[in-house]
Structure 1
Amino acid sequence: MVKTDDLILFAQVVELGSFSRVAEQNSLTNSVVSKRIARLEESLGVQLLYRTTRKLTVSEAGKVLYQGAKNVKQATVEAVDALSGFGEKVTGHVRMSVPTISGDLLLADAVADFCMQHPGMTVDMSLDNHFVDLVAEGYDLVIRTGYLEDSSLIARHILDSQWVICAAPSYVSRNGKPHFPEDLASHNCLKYAYQTTGASEWEFKGEKGNYIVRVNGNFSTNNAAALRKAALGGHGIAYVPRCLVYHDLMRGDLMDLFPKQVGKRLGVYAVYPFTRQPPQKIRLLIEHIRERYLAISHYF
């Protein structure tokens, strides 16, 4: 059985090139370091290091193991860093921007709860769908759905958001149910104007990858709540994030028309300006928000 702490120790030996330096760094004796590396080699059934009186040489097997061992070491460091500050008093102000759907669904409650847990914290949260300029507009944190291209920002993935194509039973009874994506051309498709791919371009899964079906309709809006109400009223077919209509689908007020074929799935990210170590208040707030998202991950 390979022990995780032996893998971390092995990664340190490779990086420092010396048993004695690793022993000193970890407050161990040289013999303990040697025995733990020998235990690792015995567990794996391979020689990882060649030892001489002058130097250590990493074997081919050792080079392969090191690639994984250093990831274990890095993950351990990051996990400990992420917990830094938990239980301590957090104070300060955070200016953040969040999408309208997530803001209504869970973030308003989650962020207000965070402020209750940390009496020294204040948060100014704006609901906005466009990707704000964090630095120019003075934001500390942004929650966004979609792709991140700005390398001066740090993005932490929270979860993925699946989109659905849905309609009210009353619309389907009057107009029939589309059986294939191409059938949408003869239906009234309600368009969500806030989309990077275009409101009239709906994405589907295909055998050779995702493809686009162009649709038409008599109603378009950049407000997700308005689009949902139009769909619930039986006025057409909507293409929206699943979390927006989760309860409507569960109650049968809306029907999922292509449950396994919709190709649009976007990541939800916590984004903040690049810094080697984000402020404690930002780390704790991101973790609090992430837990709230994951608690209702089935909505997405």
Structure 2
Amino acid sequence: MNMPRADDLILFAQVVDTGSFSKAAELAGVTNSVASKRISKLEEELGTQLLYRTTRRLTLSEAGRLLYQQARQIKMATDRALDTLSGFGEKVSGHIRMSVPTISGELVLADAIAEFCDRYPGLSIDMSLENRFVDIIAEGMDLVIRTGYLDDSSLIARHIIDSRWAICASPSYLERHGTPRHPEDLRQHNCLRYSYQSTGASDWAFKNKKGPFTVRVEGNMTTDNAAALRKAALAGYGIIYVPRCLIYNDLTQGMLTELFPQQVGKKLGIYAVYPTTRQLPAKIRLLIEHIRQRYLAIAHYF
């Protein structure tokens, strides 16, 4: 078996990262046909198929998955070497794969990421909006914006901002069903539950002088989509417990009424999470700082 060239391994990693021969070819500064031939030659040298190609998508073979982990390490090492030479100036290029929560993605990051790409024309970013906790290493992510807690020692997290949660309902709902005066009163109301919570959809967290406590609520709707809960609350169908940033404008415009603002006990950190590395690539460092500044610009939402 011939020893593969490092630049072919890097190209292979770029094909997997971008999910496209044409995008990887553009990043590598070669034509699509040249990129395809180099990957075919790599497969020939290794004596195994790395990618299954269809008209719609590329899928890694078992050998491809194993090689990708190593090829990506070579690519990251090369990026770090180039960062060392170029410093932290304006020469930022390459590709970034990242995953962000849906609320943050729609509220802050869609615009922030587009602005960052516009600032650095040599850079491309693949941003996935999803609420699940992705496996950063296994799924080849460069950066994840995560709300909650970090318990993986192989990852590094930088705190960006804290996100307070709020309980609210529309004035029409409160007019029809009455306004709860104490957290325990929520047991008598239709509480629309958000299943994407570390404490559980039905256990709403509070605090008082004695410390934290929970109230178990019930309701006729549960969903993992906070935007759906917001719409249901605006329509007057129940009480919700969601990140305050989601309903900030609704509160200021009087479309929703906040309940127990001094007693709600849920506050989660928002973090930029990335794999452990000796030297963080400049493009990731700059992106994290850009994202942080965009969050801080609307800190009052949180």
Task: Give the TM-score, by structure 2 length.
Answer: 0.71
Deviation by residue 1:180-207 (Cα, 9 ceiling, x = unmatched): 0000000000001111110000000122
Deviation by residue 1:222-277 (Cα, 9 ceiling, x = unmatched): 11111100000000000000000000000000000111110000000000000121
Match of 1:199 among 175, 192, 201: 201
**Is 2:240 the counterpart of 1:238?**
yes
1:98 aligned partner: 100
Query: Following the alignment from structure 1 to structure 2, what is the Cα–Cα distance between the partners of residues 284 and 245?
Result: 29
SS in 2 for 1:161: strand
Query: Following the alignment from structure 2 to structure 1, what is the Cα–Cα distance between the partners of residues 87 and 286?
Result: 8
Query: Following the alignment from structure 1 to structure 2, what is the Cα–Cα distance between the partners of residues 173 and 86?
Result: 57
Report the Cα offset of residue 86 of structure 1: 4.1
1:153 aligned partner: 155
Deviation by residue 1:116-168 (Cα, 9 ceiling, x = unmatched): 00000000000011110000001000001000000100000001000000000
Letter in 2 for 1:257: L
2:291 aligned partner: 289
Stretches of 4+ moved more than 4 A in 1?
none
**Is 2:295 the counterpart of 1:259?**
no
Query: Following the alignment from structure 1 to structure 2, what is the Cα–Cα distance between the partners of residues 147 and 228?
Result: 24
Report the Cα offset of residue 209 of structure 1: 1.6
Query: Following the alignment from structure 1 to structure 2, what is the Cα–Cα distance between the partners of residues 241 and 164?
Result: 6
Match of 2:191 among 186, 189, 192: 189
1:12 aligned partner: none
SS in 1 for 2:138: helix
1:36 aligned partner: none
1:131 aligned partner: 133
2:91 aligned partner: 89
Query: Following the alignment from structure 1 to structure 2, what is the Cα–Cα distance between the partners of residues 287 and 236?
Result: 38
Report the Cα offset of residue 85 of structure 1: 4.0
Letter in 2 for 1:143: I
Deviation by residue 1:76-115 (Cα, 9 ceiling, x = unmatched): xxxxxxxx94433100100000000000001000001000
SS in 2 for 1:126: strand
Query: Following the alignment from structure 1 to structure 2, what is the Cα–Cα distance between the partners of residues 217 and 274?
Result: 42
What count of residue pairs does the alignment treat as equivalent?
218
Task: Give the TM-score, by structure 1 length.
Answer: 0.71
2:227 aligned partner: 225
Identity %: 71
2:113 aligned partner: 111
SS in 2 for 1:139: coil
Provide the aligned C-alpha RMSD in A: 1.2
Query: Following the alignment from structure 1 to structure 2, what is the Cα–Cα distance between the partners of residues 88 and 225?
Result: 37
Is contact 2:90–2:120 with CA below 8 Å preserved after alignment? no
Letter in 2 for 1:126: S
SS in 1 for 2:208: coil
- Unaligned runs of at least 5 residues, structure 1: 1-83
SS in 2 for 1:240: strand
Match of 1:211 among 210, 213, 222: 213
SS in 2 for 1:136: coil
Query: Following the alignment from structure 1 to structure 2, what is the Cα–Cα distance between the partners of residues 197 and 211?
Result: 11
Letter in 1 for 2:226: A
The structure number with the bigger radius of gyration is 1
